[in-house]
Structure 1
Amino acid sequence: MSRFWSPVVSSLTPYVAGEQVVLPDLVKLNTNENPYGPSPQALAAIREAATDVLRLYPDPTALRLRTAIARSHGVEPDQVFVGNGSDEVLAHSFAALLKHDAPLLFPDVTYSFYPSWSRLYGITFREVPVDEGLQVRVADFRQPCGAIILPNPNAPTGSALPLQDIEALLHDHPDQPVVIDEAYVDFGGTSAVPLVARHPNLLVVQTFSKSRSLAGLRVGFAIGQRPLIEALERMRDSFNSYPLDRLAIAGAVAAWEDRGWFETQRDRVIASRERLAGALRALGFDVLPSAANFLFARHATISGEALAAGLRARSILVRRFARPPIQDHLRISIGTDAECDRLVAGLAELVDPPA
């Protein structure tokens, strides 16, 4: 602490990101990055944009990108908001839409940035317990509140709710903003974007970081009816009017339009996920069904702490959250098949060590 800090800094519990470390021969399965590189068209567009024009500010509205996203989702460009990664879009949503007198609701096992943003913006929140199988139950959100945010698929479990459950949530709370965080939806979930037209309280947030392999470029977006998008714009323009640079806009447009690359790499990740899930179950792991680019698994007899440490000693990183009720689970990002094979081999040594 420092005497120069403002009072809010002392009260914060910052989000802890997954490790970005350098280890020899590293297998990095801890931050849900895509194991395959960005679209070649996106890389070419970034190179083409890297000219003397970088001396000029980018389009503050990123109209080209918003138009591309809007066209594929059947909405208008002014119903699309873009930002510096979905985390920035979500942070603006917390400040612009989710702070009310009644508490904000989200699951007790979910994206750990939600409590951090709530504390940063002084938002009263209530964590709704998941069930014994770590599943979100929409019926449990049928309680008074000021707003709701829900990841679908959920993180870190990977479990996805069907669209009818999302619509039931919206019907239960027609007077409260509902944000659906769809960071992983492309790997097996069902997007709530089609519900936007008939639900003025719905905001859907997605990212280019996962299924488009652009985590290093930082591009995210939201889709909603115009009043919600205007609230985000007002927040952005009170904070940073140029959230996306020229390279990010160019790369994101090209990645979005390269549908063939996206589908091919997404299908590879899904196939690897199912293959890895089977291998983990064969080693005695309980693996939750996943609609994301990661698996959430727990061994029957060995602690998550011991497994994570043993894998790290073998230069294999996975993510572990040291809090009940998930302290023995590992969140394992889907890597290439070769990386997944190394993970399975490492776990096999830990589960059944050689004599």
Structure 2
Amino acid sequence: MSRFWSQVVRDLTPYVPGEQPKIANLIKLNTNENPYPPSPKALAAIQAELGDDAARLRLYPDPNADLLKQAVARRYGATPDQVFVGNGSDEVLAHAFQALLKHDAPILFPDISYSFYPVYCGLYGVDYRTVPLADDFSIDPADYCPSGGLPSGRGQPNGGIIFPNPNAPTGRLLALDAIADIARANPDSVVVVDEAYIDFGGTTAIPLTRRFDNVLVVHTLSKSRSLAGLRVGYAIGHPALIEALERVKNSFNSYPLDRLAIVGAVAAIEDDDWFAACCGKVVTTRDALTADLASLGFEVLPSAANFIFARHPQRDAAELAKALRERSIIVRHFKLPRIEQFLRITVGTDVECQALVAELRAILA
């Protein structure tokens, strides 16, 4: 701590990103990266951007990233003024907290959820209340709906609502009808649906943005498009919501996406065949890994993401994570109430997941 720190910095508890260790022959199943490479068309587009005239890198990129906005709009049947792009979905979410979720009333999000949400609240001075997940770790929409908005509603007036779908780290999916109920019951609050993992087993809420002017859907190219290293995210919503995000972005960083990120992202979004094939392989491996862990006695939550959330009734999760690490396999363990006995395991390749199961079998034995 330094005497030069502001009070905001003194009070912050920063987000802790997934570990990126430098261990030889590591099986890395802790940060939900896609085990397969990005679209060859994305790589070719990046190379072409460099090859044609690399000197253009001395020039700023398009501050509006119009090519990318147009590609996203075409993909989802939207218009470019309904699309916002940023340096990864984390930046998009950060701007949403400041532009759309900072009001007099507290915002709501699950008690077990993406751990960046309370960090953003601390950074931007946003009041919040966490809503406990059900005993099966699912989100109950009634908890977010005031009694006047839904017959079974027991929620509270709020300054906004945000949740991942599928939720992280649980992987559980909330049905589209339930999201619509939440949006309908909270007409004066923005409902942010963080869909980082939606492509691995859910239906996107983007169509709801055409029915509700208070729904903002956030996506990333880090997971299903295998571009975590490129840092590209976007949001789709009513033009008024997008304008608010643009106002914050242009008061913070007018050039969040570089030239290579823009062209690579456009090509990745347009390559549906590669996208579908990669997602399909991840889903198939996820189902096999779930069955293998269940055969070892693990309880595995239903997952619609590219990871699974599992616990063993007779073995401590921290000890299992430590034993796996000693065997050059890393998974994510959260030392948090209610989930301290769970491991979050990224779905890797078939070979990686088979190695994980083999080592767990040996550890349990």
Work out whether the TM-score is over 0.5: yes
Q: CA RMSD in A?
A: 0.6
Amino acid corresponding to residue 125 of structure 2 in structure 1 = G
Provide, for residues 178-198 of structure 1, a one-character-per-residue CA deviation record: whole Å limited to 9, x for no partner. Answer: 100000000001111001112
Matched AA of 1:43: L
Q: In the alignment, does 2:348 pair up with 1:335?
A: yes
Structure-1 residue corresponding to 2:192: 179
Q: 2:123 aligns with which of 120, 128, 149?
A: 120
Aligned-partner residue type, residue 112 of structure 1: S
- The alignment partner of 2:332 has SS state of coil
Task: Render the CA deviation track for 1:128-156: whole Å, top value 9, x for unaligned.
Answer: 00011111111111221110001110000
Write the mapping of 1:243-254 to structure 2, written as runs, cut at 5 A.
243-254=256-267
Deviation at 1:24, TM superposition (A): 1.9
2:232 pairs with one of 206, 210, 219: 219
Kept in 1: contact 2:76–2:206 (CA 8 A):
yes
The aligned residue for residue 79 of structure 1 is 82
**Pairing 1:35-114 to 2, within 5 Å after superposition:** 35-50=35-50, 51-114=54-117
Of 163, 181, 185, which aligns to 1:150?
163
Equivalents in 2 of 1:205, 1:127: separation in Å? Answer: 20
- Residue identity in the other structure for 1:85: G
Within 1, Cα distance between the matches of 2:361 and 2:139?
31
Offset at residue 4 of structure 1 (A):
1.1
2:241 corresponding residue in structure 1: 228
SS at match of 1:120: helix
> Match of 1:28?
28
Q: What amino acid does structure 2 have at the position aligned with 1:16?
A: V
Q: Distance in 2 between matches of 1:108 and 1:8?
A: 23
Query: For 1:125 and 1:162, how far apart are their aligned partners in 2?
Result: 24
Mapped partners of 2:358, 2:76: distance in 1: 42
Quote the offset at 1:213 in angstroms. Answer: 0.2
2:274 matched to which residue of 1?
261
Deviation at 1:23, TM superposition (A): 1.0
Deviation of 1:305 after TM superposition, in Å, equals 0.5
- Within 5 Å, give how 1:262-301 maps onto structure 2: 262-301=275-314
Matches of 1:166 and 1:208, distance apart in 2: 23
Which amino acid in structure 2 is aligned with residue 122 of structure 1? G
- Report the secondary structure of 2:333's partner residue: coil
* Distance in 1 separating the partners of 2:24 and 2:131: 41
Deviations 1:25-66 (CA, angstroms, capped at 9, x unpaired): 100000000000110110111111121111111000111111
CA distance in 2, matches of 1:146, 1:239: 23
In structure 1, distance between residues paired with 2:271 and 2:235:
20
Q: Runs of at least 4 residues of structure 1 off by over 3 A? A: none
Deviation at 1:309, TM superposition (A): 0.4
**CA–CA distance in structure 2, aligned partners of residues 5 and 232 of structure 1:** 28
Q: What does residue 201 of structure 1 align with? A: 214
Q: Is the 2:75–2:269 contact (alpha carbons within 8 Å) kept by the matching residues of 1?
A: no
Q: Distance in 1 between matches of 2:190 and 2:71?
A: 26
3-state DSSP class of the match of 1:106? Answer: strand
For structure 2, the 5+ residue unaligned runs are: 146-155
TM-score by length of 1: 0.98
CA positional deviation for 1:351: 1.2
Q: State the secondary structure of the residue aligned to 1:75.
A: coil
Cα separation, 2, equivalents of 1:214 and 1:273: 20
3-state SS of 2:120 partner: helix
Answer yes or no: is 1:9 the counterpart of 2:17.
Answer: no
Distance in 1 (CA, whole Å) between partners of 2:362 and 2:121 is 42
C-alpha distance in structure 2 between counterparts of 1:114 and 1:319, whole Å: 18
Quick one: distance in 1 between partners of 2:136 and 2:333?
A: 18
CA distance, structure 2, for counterparts of residue 348 and residue 176 of structure 1: 48
Query: 1:84 Cα shift?
Result: 0.1
- Unaligned stretches of 5+ residues in structure 1: none
Q: Deviations over 1:251-307 (max 9, x none)?
A: 000101111000001100000000000000000000001000000000011011011
Distance 2:355 2:26 in 1: 10
SS of aligned partner of 1:109 = coil
Aligned length: 352
Q: Which moved more, 1:138-147 or 1:82-91?
A: 138-147
Aligned to 1:162: 175
1:350 CA displacement: 1.4
Partner of 2:358: 345
Hey, what's the Cα distance between the residues in 1 that align with 2:273 and 2:353? Answer: 25
Q: Give the letter aligned to residue 24 of structure 1.
A: A
Amino acid at match of 2:29: L
* 1:129 to 2:142 alignment: no
Q: What percent identity do the matched residue pairs reach?
A: 61
